[in-house]
Amino acid sequence: MSDSARCPTTDNGALFACQGQLPRLPVPDLDATLAKYARSLEPLLQPDELTHSKSLIEEFKRSAQGRELQQRLESRAADPSCANWLEDWWNNLSYMGYRDPVIPYVSYHYSFSDDPGCSTAVERAAKLIDGAIAFRQQVVDGSLEPDMTRTTPLCSHSYNFMFNACRIPSIPSDHCQTSTYNGNETVVVVRGGQFFVFSFLRNGSQLSVDEIAATLEQIVQVADANTAEPIGILTADNRDSWARNRKVLLGLPGNKDLLDSIEASAFLVVLEKERPVTREEFSHAVWHGSGRNRWFDKPCQFVVCDNARAGFCGEHSMMDGTPTLRLVESAIAYASELPTPSAARAKRDPELRALHFQTSSAIVSAVKQAETLFATAVSKQHLRVLCFDAFGKERIKQLGCSPDAFIQLVIQLAYTRLHGHARPTYESSMTRKFLHGRTETCRSVTCDSVVWCASMADQNTDNAARIKLFRDALATHSLLVKEAVNGQGVDRHLLGLRMLVKQGEEMPGIFEDPAYSYSSHWYLSTSQVSSENFTSYGWSEVTPKGYGIAYNICKNCLIIHIICMRNEYGLDSDRLARSFETAAKDVHDMLSGSPHKQ
C-alpha cells in the first residue's frame, strides 16, 4: 500500500519545484546556544538555582564531551542521506512514539464560521467535500504553489501526508502509511459510529456537488435507521492498546479490506448528530465529539454538525497547522462560490458502500474500555473560548506593535496576575524555510517580560517607564522568534546534543540539571493560527500543571482558546480568560494613554 512516489523532490510541478533548493536545518553554534539557554533560565530560577545551572552550562561548554556531541550533530546534519537532522527524532519523540491517546493530547481542531448559504448538514458537507477534492487535485498534480513567507518558499514535504494517508498504531512507535492517489479517489463518511465509503470519481468523471449531496443524504438515512459497534472509538485509546486491538480486528474475516478503505481514503467526513450552540460546545463537538463517530488517525477530518456548523480535526503527527490551514481556507473559499447543493438535481444515483466490521467479545470489551478512557480524559478538559472584540490586529499595529509579540506579552501579564509569577512558556515557531522543517521553540518568558509585568503592578512606575519596558520586552520577543524561525533556537539544538549521548556514556550534567527539565516543562503552551473564517481553534494543555492557549488574531477581534485540566492544581480557564481580557485592555490603555472606546 505504500507509495514511494509520494515523496517527490524537484520534478512534480510547482508544489515541489523548490525542494532541491531549500537549505538544510542548520546546527547552531554551541556557545551561542548555551548563552541563550542561560539567559532563558534567568527569569525562571532562584539565584542559587541559577548559579548552579550556569556552572553546569559553563562546564559543558568547556568539556571535550560537549565539543564531541556538537561534532556528532554537525556530522549528522552533513550526511547527504539525512534531509533534516532533527526530523526522525522529533517525529518519534513528540508524536509517533507518544503512547497516550491522540485525543485529547495531540490532535487539534478548527471551528469554522457559519456558511449563510447552507441550512443543513448535508449542504455544508457537500460543499466542503467538493472544495477539499479541488485542493487535493492541486496537491496530486503538483499545480499548487508552495507556501511562501514573502519571497521565501517553504518546504512542501508535509503535503505528502495530507491526503490518502493514515497514522497506524504500532508498538513501540506508530508510523504513517501513505497510499497511492490513483485508485483511491474515495471519501469515508462516519455517521452514528457507522462507516461508509464512496468514490468521488466515477467512470473518469468527478461527482458534482449535487451528486455528493445525494450520496450524503442516503448515508444519513441508512445510518439513522441502524446501529453498529462504534469501532472508531478504538482510535482514541492508548496507542499500545489500539495497536493490539487493531491486530485483533485484522484477524476477523473481512476487516482488513474495511480498514484499508478507511486508511487509504483521501480524507474523512464526520456527520455529527450534535447541534452545538456556544463556542465551547462547538469546539468540543469539532475537536472530539463523543469519540464514537471518528477515526482520529486520519490526518484530515472535516466535521459537520446537524445544525450545519462545521470544522476540521487534524491528526498532528506528520503535519503542523500551516498546511491544513491552507487546505481549509481553500475549501471554505471554494465552497463559498458554489450554489446551495440539491440532491434532487443529481444526475447519477448514489453509489456507496457500508463498512460493516466483524466484531468479537474481545473487540466489544475493548470498545467499552476505550469509551471509558475517552470519557474520563475529555471530562477533565476545562475549555473556554474568549472572543475579545475590543480591538484586533489593526489596532495593535496602529499602536506600533507586532500582533504576535503583543499577544504573547498580554498572556504573560494575564498569567502572572492570576498565578503570581512567570512559568516556562512555549511558543511554536515555524521552521519550514528549511528542508523537512517543522517547528522550533520560542521561550517567551524573558527578563524583559518579567520586569515589565512587575512594573504593571508597581504604583511607583509611571506610564512612560512602563511603555519603555513593554517595548523592550516586545523587541526581545520578536528577536527570539526571528532566531527560532531561522533555526537558531535553544530547545531543538539541546535535544539533538542529548540524543547523541551514546549508551554507556555519562550524561552531561547540563541535561541532569532539574532546571533543564523544568525550563522545558511548558506550563503555557501557545501558538497562533489566524483566520477570519474561524470562530476558534485549539488543542489540549501539554502538562497537567499548565494551559494550552491557541490564539487567532483577526482584523478587529482576538479569539483565544484556553484549556487546562480539572485536577488538583486548581487551574481555571475561565479565570485566565478574564485575566487576559483585563490585561489586553490595560496594555491598550497604557500604550494609547486613554481607555479604549468600544
Q: CB-based contacts of 369: which residues, under 8 Å, 6+ apart?
A: 237, 241
Residue 172 preceded by cis peptide, ω within 30? yes
The answer to whether the CB of 195 falls within 8 A of the CB of 355 is: yes
State the Cα torsion 133-134-136-140 to the nearest 10°.
130
Pairs from 30-33 (Cβ < 8 Å, separation ≥ 24): 30/61, 30/66, 30/67, 30/70, 31/61, 32/488, 33/488, 33/490, 33/493, 33/494
C-alpha cell at 416: 502572572
* Distance of alpha carbon 210 from alpha carbon 339, whole angstroms: 10
* Distance of alpha carbon 125 from alpha carbon 340, whole angstroms: 11
Count of all residues that appear for the chain in the document: 598
- CB count in 10 Å sphere of residue 352: 16
* Distance of alpha carbon 3 from alpha carbon 17, whole angstroms: 20
The answer to whether the CB of 303 falls within 8 A of the CB of 130 is: no
DSSP-H helix ranges across 380-402: 393-398
Nearest to 201 by CA among 4, 2, 348: 348
Catalytic site residue from 316, 436, 477, 493 = 316
Q: Is 356 helix (H, G, I), strand (E, B) or coil?
A: coil
The answer to whether the CB of 400 falls within 8 A of the CB of 470 is: no
The answer to whether the CB of 304 falls within 8 A of the CB of 115 is: no
For 463, phi and psi rounded to 5 degrees? -65, -40
436 a catalytic residue? no
CA torsion sign for 96, 323, 177, 20 is: negative
Which residues does the annotation mark as catalytic?
316
